Amino acid sequence: MYAQMVESGQAGTSDQDKAFQDKIDRNVRIEPRDWMPEGYRKTLIRQISQHAHSEIVGQLPEGNWITRAPSLQRKAILLAKVQDEAGHGLYLYCAAETLGVSRDELTEQLLSGKAKYSSIFNYPTLTWADVGMIGWLVDGAAIMNQVPLQRCSYGPYSRAMIRVCKEESFHQRQGFDIVRALVEGTEDQKAMAQDALNRWWWPAIMMFGPPDADSTHSEQSMKWGIKLNSNDELRQKFVDQTVPQAEWLGLTLPDPDLKWNEDRQSYDFGTPDWDEFFNVIKGNGICNRERLDARNKAWDDGAWFREGLMAHAEKTTKQNIAAE
Amino acid sequence: MSTEFPLWEVFIRGQHGLAHRHVGSLHAPDAELALKSARDVYTRRNEGVSIWVVPSSAIAALDPSEAEQNFAPSESKIYRHPTFFDIPEDVGAM
């Protein structure tokens, strides 16, 4: 997901901790200035900031195609979509900041590589069909996770998710529409869509994080109401929703073990290459270095401009005070 | 790392005559850029026709731990609600 393997803090045993858990169990939202256990605060900062970093880094693979979109309309749509991702990052950074961390600290954690972002954005976008796959599959997977998070226990995070979800459906549909145009096009275009699907399917499946049996941080986060479904639960839901869509498009999912299970009324599917997943998380994916270099370059190249804006703001404030 | 831009709270009034409503916050060097950013960040889908931005540091708020005392006085005054009064049906609409 956009936040993967978030290390979870510990709950305390004091009366205050018990009252806090009781509040969560009664579905009362926690707000920034309310008392909260340190573990809850730290876990949320990690989770929300990782989510925010994913939105920001997530602009890069698609941004790669803005200048090369096949028509003016596709270009305008992609531009709007990538702008939304920037917006989503900003909503989320602000939500994280209500927990007492500064924007500069968050930025520094991303740029130094200390903070993580979703594994999915370390894969390259080789063709225009990849842009379609990101919208259809990656945003589709993200929606699976973000819809329940609208009900999470922390007020500012929940409100940010409500805004994000309102906009996310556009992202998935524009991706599906790109893929649809390709499969309805020439043989070469259809082959391009199939090739992109072959490369994006497993990384999208892995977005949901390791299998529940290996997911060490889930239990406390679920108790605190900041993780609402297990990784495997959401993964299954995603597969069940996506298989019929792929069939409609006439594309083949690259999984020989994929088949309908009549008893479970769900699809059985194969096991992704988890070694690859952990390798990408560790920083050894195809594009990890490129992504971080791009963010660092943008930050460094913009330094003179940010300083200039602050200097101008300070000067104008002084002039206004003098004039009063 | 340079000085961080100050934080602003953003309020937006929609098209249907409701009051400005808090929608979120953002960082900007001054009010002018805060307004421009607020337009880009919070009104990409016609959410509003008017924007206010206020420095976050200018907002005073009640202490949430005192919420019980602060809001207790209104709890016992249920006669402030019209449903408190029993109006016979044959009196008609009131």
| DSSP codes of every residue in chain B | --PPPPEEEEEEE-TTSPPPEEEEEEE-SSHHHHHHHHHHHH-TTS--SEEEEEEGGG-----GGGHHHHHHHHHT-GGGSGGGS---GGG---
- Chain A environment of B25 (Cβ under 8 Å): 94, 97
Residue A214's pLDDT is what?
A: 84
CATH number listed for the domain at residues A15-285: 1.20.1260.10
Residue contact B24–A160, C-beta within 8 A: yes
| CB contact at 8 A, A96 and A106 | yes
Residue B67's pLDDT is what?
A: 85
* CA–CA separation, A114 and B78 (whole Å): 55
At A218, give phi and psi (nearest 5°).
Answer: -70, -40
For A137, which DSSP code?
I
| CB contact at 8 A, B10 and B42 | yes
Residue B75's pLDDT is what?
A: 86
Residue spans per domain, chain B? 7-88
Answer with the residue of higher pLDDT: A67 or B64.
A67
Residue contact B1–A104, C-beta within 8 A: yes
- Paired strand residues for B50: B13
Residue B27 at interface with chain A, using a CB cutoff of 8 Å = yes
Residue B46 at interface with chain A, using a CB cutoff of 8 Å = no
Q: Among A83, A103, A307, whose Cβ lies nearest the Cβ of B27? A: A103
pLDDT of B1 over the 60 cut: no
- Chain B environment of A103 (Cβ under 8 Å): 4-5, 27
Q: Does ipTM come in above 0.85?
A: yes
Question: In a 3-state reduction of DSSP, which class is residue A154?
Answer: strand
Q: Which CATH number does the domain B7-88 belong to among 3.40.50.10880, 3.30.950.10, 3.30.70.360, 3.10.20.520?
A: 3.10.20.520
What is the distance in angstroms between the Cα of B76 and the nearest Cα belonging to chain A? 22
| CB contact at 8 A, A161 and A146 | yes
Q: Output the six-digit token pair for A137.
A: 């599959």
CB atoms near residue B67 (< 10 Å) = 11
pLDDT category at B2 given cuts 50, 70, 90 is low
CB pairs under 8 A between A and B: 58
Walking along chain A (324 residues) 10 residues at a time, the average pLDDT comes out as: 76 88 95 94 96 97 96 97 96 96 96 95 97 97 95 97 93 97 98 98 96 83 94 97 98 98 97 96 94 97 95 91 83
